[in-house]
Amino acid sequence: MIRKITQVFPLLAAAACLGAAPVAPPLAPAPPDLQPGVTVSFTSLAGGATDVRRDRMLALAVPAGTPPSSLLPAGPFRAVLESELAMPLRTEVTFSFEGNGTAELSVNGRVVLNETGAKLGAKAGNSVTLAQGANRLAVTYTGPATGDAAFRLIWAGKDFGREPLPPELLKTDAAATPLRTAERLRAGQEVFARRHCVNCHAGESLSALQMNELGVRPPSLAESGTRFREAWLAQWISDPHALRPDAPMPQLHLESPADAKDLAAYLTSLGTAVAAPPAAAALVNGGGRLFAELRCIACHPAPGTTPVAGDTSRVSLAQVPAKWHPAALAAYLQDPQKDYPASPMPNFRLSAVEARQLSAFLLAGANPGPVSVSGDATGGRNLYESHCYDCHGPVEPVAANRNRTTPPLSTLLTRDWTRGCLGETLANRGTAPDFGFTARERDSLRAFAAAGARFADVPIESTRRTVAALRCNACHARDGQPAGYDRFASEAQALLQRYGASAEADADNASLDQEPPTLTWAGEKLRPEWLRHQLLGDLPAAARPWLKARMPSFKNSAAGLAAGLALEHGLLPSETSPPTADPDLAVLGERLAGPEVFGCTACHAAGSTPALAPFGAPGINFALVPARLRDEYFQRWLDNPPRIDPRTKMPKFTSAPGRSLQTGILEGDAHAQWDALLAFLRTVAESEGPTLPRK
């Protein structure tokens, strides 16, 4: 699942026509800026190289053969993780470790725990008093000389059992100069990769580059005529940033305005648009409801909505009618990754009818404007070969001969990175394309090149980038931060009222919690195989079929996200199958789940056996749980569900950490009871549970 890398390679880096070596001035000191997270300072034990980054958790996992960070080589390392733990009240806790290697914890400058071994956790620290407010935590961790390295910090208190430290309580100084310096280099890495600089500056070192985004091609333009309107293409090619200020597409250096028309004419000669009948009002109404129910409003203002000036949190849909042929738009909505596997557009696995409904809603009442611009397709073909081919690839079986004028990677680090693509004026850019880089992006690219321009594929770092790129927080709360949707929920409700949501359906679902689950603990909660298939979109059953919002698929990111989310929690991805159920324990577990004890079966179905009274609070089918949840998380969840998710309707069944409310069974040992419940769930899964698709 995780690609093994034995070396961090120099990048030999970015942008066209860069002409003296890049220089990055040191960052000026900045006032403290406490932000969520943990500062992790790495040192390579092989050569002494250092790096700093900000993580979410007081945890770390580095699979064998991979570097601990994208700016260090693979091999033995030491990491110092520092954060301020914000406590609402003075309290006493104990700390312990999980994982392997050597770990030492200090609290407010005093060492309270240290341990070494192939399996950490046998030793727990003495009781530690945490003050109200900020408490300084520092963990020094040294991974083993060979093999996987993993650890995480665990705590427990008088009113809660063993658990990882909640990330919403962890703060670090995001303005500290070492962290800002390293993050500037990472920003340069990401800009270079996401702007596809290697496509024009390939050369002999391309095979040595290691970063997920480097292998991503921009969208294929084959069959553009089937999809796009010629007039819009001409406008887009002429100045993409006028239509979308944050567009990754650069403004090309064309000789005349006619060149954009010629390119558009050539591209629209590739395929023929399929005619679509006029959309009926019922289709538009259905599309409006879908737009609201699928929470599209979190990423896009509704069509016809005037965008808020300067708001880049959502992508305007104003260009959709001018851009798309109706039938092609419906096809795109059914498979957004067909022509661009890395597209952040969610694949909701829409039916053909649903896709037509959404397409009709997006195009309703809009005037698409002129269709053609009368360009010269033959001239456009030559322009495509010279200006577009390196990024978008071939669109016809035979490519014309191209005269490459961009320098290879091996020469770029000696060039002047204030010119060419990074030039801030037309005079400095020359004939290079204009990517519309911000001042911060230019600075990060220059710093990245000045530092030697290195890459490595580090799952924790790529996961952070991917979660941001896919806008996961648009629908999911995480680390105490609400979902972006919450800001625009009133707009979604207005759409539902306007487009005729069914009163009966609303009444049936009024009491059902429609909030998607939080992502805070996803990497600790879900088995990587289940999460991978969830992101692939091929799970045999939905965990929460009552949700109107659907979990979309992102096939290009599925494997990396499933691994990276686990690693963030200090857990190595494991694809082992759940163990076979103990039949005697399962009998006791079935009793515990029944109406006379915990009453779990009131809300939870058990395979084909329906829940007894799920009204308003349906639970996840027991048949899905063993393949879905890690056993350790199952135990932690049952200890105190509201502590993990305050919104849950799942009650608490313990009177104190480790003590069940049912004192007459298994001597009131909560964890023994949870083991019995899990054994029962495994029997249900073994007889009626889903089988995950094979790789």
Contact 41, 138 (CB under 8 A): no
Q: Could you tell me whether strands 91-107 and 128-130 are parallel, antiparallel, or unpaired per DSSP bridges?
A: antiparallel
Cα–Cα dist 485/492, whole Å: 9
CA count, 13 A, side-chain hemisphere, 351? 6
CA 627 – CA 610 distance, rounded (Å): 19
Would you say residue 41 has pLDDT above 80?
Answer: yes
Percentage with pLDDT > 90 across the chain: 71
Q: Give me 261's structure tokens.
A: 């028309």
* 3-class DSSP state of 563: helix
Contact 42, 72 (CB under 8 A): yes
DSSP 220: P
620, pLDDT greater than 50: yes
- Average pLDDT of span 234-252: 93
Burial of 481 (0-12, 13-18, 19+ CB in 10 A): middle
Mean pLDDT for the stretch of residues 543-547: 92
- For residue 503, CA distances in Å to 93, 286, 509 come to 51, 14, 10
For residue 101, the one-letter residue type is G
C-alpha count within 13 angstroms, C-beta hemisphere, residue 680: 20
Judging by DSSP bridges, how do beta strands 149-157 and 160-164 pair with one another? antiparallel
User: Would you place residue 12 in the very low, low, confident or very high pLDDT band (cuts 50, 70, 90)?
Assistant: very low
State the pTM of this model: 0.91
The identity of residue 73, as a single letter, is P
SS3 523: helix
- Specify whether the backbone of 116 is left (phi greater than 0), alpha (psi in -120 to 50) or beta: beta
* Neighbouring C-beta atoms of residue 554, cutoff 10 Å: 26
Neighbour tally for 182: CB within 10 Å: 25
Query: What percentage of residues in the chain have a pLDDT greater than 70?
Result: 91
Q: Would you state the pLDDT for residue 400?
A: 52
Stretch among 57-71, 125-139, 207-221, 598-612 having the lowest mean pLDDT = 207-221
- 1 has a pLDDT exceeding 50: no
What pLDDT, on a 0 to 100 scale, did the predictor assign at position 402? 57
Task: Kindly indicate the confidence band of residue 590, based on its pLDDT and cuts at 50, 70 and 90.
Answer: very high
Rounded Cα gap, residues 228 and 401, in angstroms: 26
Confidence of residue 667 (pLDDT cuts 50, 70, 90): very high
Angle at 408 between CA 429 and CA 208, to 5 degrees: 125
For residue 77, give the 3-state DSSP assignment. Answer: strand
pLDDT over 80 at 163, yes or no = yes
Residue 176 phi, psi dihedral angles, 5° rounding: -60, 135
197, amino acid identity:
C
